[in-house]
Structure 1
Amino acid sequence: MGKEQEKEVILEQMEERAVEEISTHDAEKSIEEKLVAVQEEIAGYQDKMLRAAAEFDNYKKRMERDRNAAMKYAGEHILREILPVVDNLERALNQGVVSGVDAEMKLAALLEGVQLTLKSLLAVLEKFEVKAIESVGLPFDPNIQEALVMEPSDVVPASHVLGEFEKGYYYKDRLLRVAKVIVSSGKAAS
């Protein structure tokens, strides 16, 4: 092998190394570019995640405020419905103080006013799905009634409700208040 051939071999090797270095350099540059692109993408996702977390936090705070306001004023609707009942009671009481009217007429007007007021109050309760429990004449039920007194009765059978001190009420399907009742002990002993 002559010097010429050695030079050619050396030149070829140098060219191969140069090509390898260029391709290695290009590969490194390509990897760096990809790394920068991935880092930018990650930064974008982190930004989106932080914004979503902030939006969710604001949503939670808004829902908490709305819930607190709803609970604070939950009874407002029913109170608006009850105010006319108060007005009717005031009108009924004012009828009792009208001068120039005899006592019997005042009493009749007052009684009529109270009856109308009770009717309007029962209508409000019905509107809100509050229903009275019918008890009188029916068998005593300790789940919805509380026996306060037992009395003999020739008309109402034993263990049946003879009368009520207070009506019981349901609100929708839930017992709101038990009825306080008088229970028959049956016929009186002779």
Structure 2
Amino acid sequence: METRQSSAIGRPRGFDTEEALERAMLVFWEHGYEGASTAVLTRAMGISTTSMYAAFGNKEQLFRRVLERYSEGPSAYLTRALDEPTAHGVAAAILAGTVRTTTRPAGPHGCLGVQSALTTSDAGKEVRELLVAWRQDGCCRVRDRFQRAVDDGDLPPGADPRLLARYVTTLAYGLAVQAASGVRRDELQELADAALRAWPLP
């Protein structure tokens, strides 16, 4: 009996966790949080509902894992953008990254975080709050970077880092919504370029 129990405990799940998370990410990205039913998720992941719960927890817990994966993968352009040497370069890299990520030829269009937040009902309150915090965290990171630009003289002394960060992130989310609506990549990039023409110079 002990041998059989030990064997069962040590038995591998029989599926690739990372691949399953990747597939779940694509489902949430395409359908949003509420549109991604458990049946659709497990079918895309190639696992049973029992296996999903055992490996990832419930749908909300799975989504939290997926959002982390999205932040470290497709949405990692934000972290890279913050390393640009100028504030203008940061803003340009964020918008270009948004356009590139939300219009991938072989993948869902739009932003996973935005798409999932747009249709989250009261039943998904915790997910909605999670996404609000996710977006706010990104805005705060941009704000801190722009504050450094003011301190370094890269932005004029009268520039408002909070307002500029909100401006850039609001543009980025707007571009993502347009991408999800089918607006072409080149047109979105033109919009991003136009928005940065009024960027404050030192």
Give yes or no for TM over 0.5. Answer: no
Higher helix share: 2
Q: Which has the higher contact order (CA 8 A, sep 6+)?
A: 2
Which TM class, normalised by the smaller chain length? under 0.3
TM superposition score normalised by structure 2: 0.21
Q: Which has the larger radius of gyration?
A: 1
Higher strand share: 1
